[in-house]
Structure 1
Amino acid sequence: MKPFCFADGTIIPSESATIHPMDLGLIRGYGIFDFFRTSNYQPLFIEHYLDRFIASAEKTHLPLKYSREELKAIISELTEKNDLKQGGFRMVLSGGVSQNHFSPAEGKLFIFCESLDFPAEEKYNQGIKLLTLEYVRPIAEIKTTNYALPVWHSYHWKNLGAEDVLYHWNGMVSESSRSNFFIVKNGIIHTPDQHILLGITRKHILQLAKDAVIRPITLEEVWDADEAFITSTTKVLLPVTQLDDRKIGNGKVGPVTRSILERFRNLEKELVG
């Protein structure tokens, strides 16, 4: 974590940030967050992340006292004070201290700056393994702070050499615990349309792919896919070459996956000049 954060309505030393022990974020796991990156001191896709954060606050009935312009000004000041040339911003809005310890209240806004390490290059070159997990994330369209199941389950997947999980329910796949999921079949990119977070990286991958198909995808289709990959802010795009104990396609990173990753990286370079 970087030296300065935003809390209590001002910029303070990060080590001084506090939260009430009866906040719903702690006692009920109720709150929202979002995370975006900076490159060459510029926040990438900032308008899209703020769109989602503001919408998440409204959908979860959590008052957000700051306007879009005020949030951007805070982010700009934190970037300067933390000298955040390359790194991450984590915005958190807690559930607040509720009179009945249950209903959403006026929460507390935190904005933290973090160092950011991408996955090892070998994962981009060789691909990763996912484990199937029967689960649907609650209110999946909102980026809530409720990650209890994957945090608990991560001990299991790490022991099995997996990077993450792939959620599925009634034979239909949705997403990974912190990433969106895609398959490639006959050169065409497909991605699930239900029980997912509408990822910002996903959004731009779909724009780059142009002919991508957004639709329900069965687990059987994943087994039969030529390629697969996951996308997120912190991973960008990671090829998936194994699901449980079975290879995806030929078990190697495919040409469509490599192409879309290169195009996304070029897009980022264009944005920061």
Structure 2
Amino acid sequence: MKPFCFADGKIIDTQTASIHPMDLGLIRGYGIFDFFRTVNHQGLFLEDYLDRFTASAEKTFLPLDYSREELRQIIGQLIEKNDLEQGGLRMVLSGGVSDNHFSPADGKLFIFAESLIFPSEEKYEKGVKLLTLEYVRPIADIKTTNYALAVWHSAQWKKQGAEDVLYHMNGFISESSRSNFFIVKDGELITPSEHILLGITRKNLIKIAGQVTIRPISLQEVWEADEAFICSTTKVLLPVTQIDDRTIGNGKPGPISVNLLEKFKELEKELCY
């Protein structure tokens, strides 16, 4: 965590930031957040993240007492104050302190600056393993702070050499705990349409790829895929070469996945340099 954050309506020392112990974010796990990268002291796809954050606030009935322009100014000040050339910014809006300790109230806005560590180069070169898990995230289209199941289940990932999980329900997959999911079959790029967060990295990869099929994907199709990958702000595009005990494709990152990652890196340079 970097030295300075935004809390209590101003930029302060991060170590002094605090939240009321009866805030719904603590006692009910109710709140929203968003996280984006900084590249060359600029917020990558910042407008997309502001769109999603403000929409999440509205959908969760949490008042956001800052205009879009005010948020931009605060973010710019934090990037400068923390000299955040390459890193991340986390916006959090808590559920607030309500009279009945249950209903959404006036929450508290925090914006934290963070260092960012990408997965190892080996993971991009060899791909990663996922574990299937029968689950659908509640209100999946909103980026809430509720990651209880994933945090609890993550102890099993390390034991089984997995990077993350792949959620599925009734024979159809949705997403990973912190990433969107794609498969490639016979040259066709496909990504799920239901029970997912509309990821910003996902959105921009779809733009780059040009032709992407967005529809329900069965577990059987995943087993038979030529390639698979997860994508997120903190991973960009990470090839998936094993799910449970099954090898995906030939067990190596596929050409379409590798090409998409390179094109994303090129876009990043165009936007921020």
TM over 0.5: yes
Deviations 1:49-85 (A, max 9, x none): 0000000000000000000000000000000100000
Measured against aligned partners, the alpha-carbon deviations of 1:81-121 in whole angstroms (never above 9, x if no partner) come to 00000000000000000100000000000000000010000
1:247 aligns with 2:247: yes
- Find the counterpart in structure 2 of residue 228 from structure 1: 228
- Structure 2 matches for 1:140-159, cutoff 5 A? 140-159=140-159
Structure 2: distance between partners of 1:158 and 1:182: 23
Q: Which amino acid aligns with 1:190?
A: I
Gaps of 5+ in 2: none
What amino acid maps onto 1:242 in structure 2? Q
Q: Give the partner amino acid of 1:214.
A: I
CA distance in 1, matches of 2:193, 2:205: 14
SS in 1 for 2:217: coil
Mapped to 2, the partners of 1:159 and 1:209 lie a distance apart of 35
List structure 1 segments (4+ residues) > 3 angstroms apart after TM superposition: none
Give the corresponding residue for 1:7.
Answer: 7
SS at match of 1:133: strand
Aligned partner of 2:17 in structure 1 is 17
1:265 aligned to 2:265?
A: yes
Distance 1:171 1:250 in 2: 23
Deviation at 1:209, TM superposition (A): 0.9
Letter in 2 for 1:233: T
| Residues in 2 aligned to 1:265 and 1:212: alpha-carbon distance in whole angstroms | 19
Partner Cα distance (1:272, 1:252) in 2? 31
How far apart, in 2, do the equivalents of 1:80 and 1:48 lie?
Answer: 21
C-alpha separation between the residues in 2 aligned to 1:197 and 1:158?
25
Is 1:122 the counterpart of 2:138? The answer is: no
After superposition, what is the alpha-carbon deviation per residue over 1:22-59, rounded to whole angstroms, capped at 9, x for unaligned?
00000000000000000110100000000000000000
Equivalent in the alignment of 2:41 = 41
- The unaligned stretches of length 5 or more in structure 1 are none
Question: In the TM superposition, what are the counterparts of 1:171-190 in structure 2 within 5 Å?
Answer: 171-190=171-190
State the one-letter code of the partner of 1:202.
R
TM-score by length of 1: 1.00
- Normalised to the residue count of structure 2, the TM-score between the two structures is 1.00
